[in-house]
């Protein structure tokens, strides 16, 4: 089960539930893969609804890798994601949101 307070997102792929998380290493890998100088431009694309399927796939792969998965984007090309492209995009957006969200302790500790 995914813990949203630690940045985790659950996604069912080929009938198996996976926990995705954007660790610092996964974020660095994501920046390199997308050719971005920073993750901010990707966040801006999601906020404006201007993201691509390539962005979604890259985020899902980075999240899976941050969750301990050892596969590659190629492994997901024929995979069935429960909920389809809409659920994949939703999970990708949640990954970005949760990666940079404050936890309850950070909010109260100021």
Q: What is the pLDDT of residue 45?
A: 82
| Domain definitions of the chain by residue range | 4-100
- pLDDT one-digit tens code per residue, 53-87: 988 999 999 999 999 999 888 999 889 999 999 99
| CB 8, CB 50: distance < 8 Å | no
> Could you tell me what percent of the chain has a pLDDT over 90?
45
Q: Which of 17-21, 45-49, 89-93 has the lowest mean pLDDT?
A: 45-49
Work out the number of other CB atoms within 10 angstroms of the CB of residue 35. Answer: 6
Total residues belonging to the chain: 110
| CB 95, CB 43: distance < 8 Å | no
- pLDDT one-digit tens code per residue, 11-25: 999 999 999 999 988
- pLDDT of 92 > 90? The answer is yes
pLDDT: is 33 or 68 the higher one? 68
């Amino acid at each position: 089960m995914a813990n949203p307070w630690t940045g985790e997102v659950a996604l069912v792929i080929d009938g198996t539930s996976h926990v995705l998380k954007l660790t610092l290493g996964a974020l660095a890998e994501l920046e390199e893969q997308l050719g971005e100088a920073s993750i901010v431009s990707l966040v801006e694309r999601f906020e404006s609804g201007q993201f691509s399927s390539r962005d979604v796939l890259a985020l899902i792969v980075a999240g899976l890798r941050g969750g301990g998965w050892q596969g590659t984007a190629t492994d997901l090309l024929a995979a069935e994601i429960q909920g389809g492209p809409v659920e994949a995009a939703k999970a990708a957006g949640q990954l970005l949101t949760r990666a940079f969200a404050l936890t309850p302790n950070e909010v109260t500790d100021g």
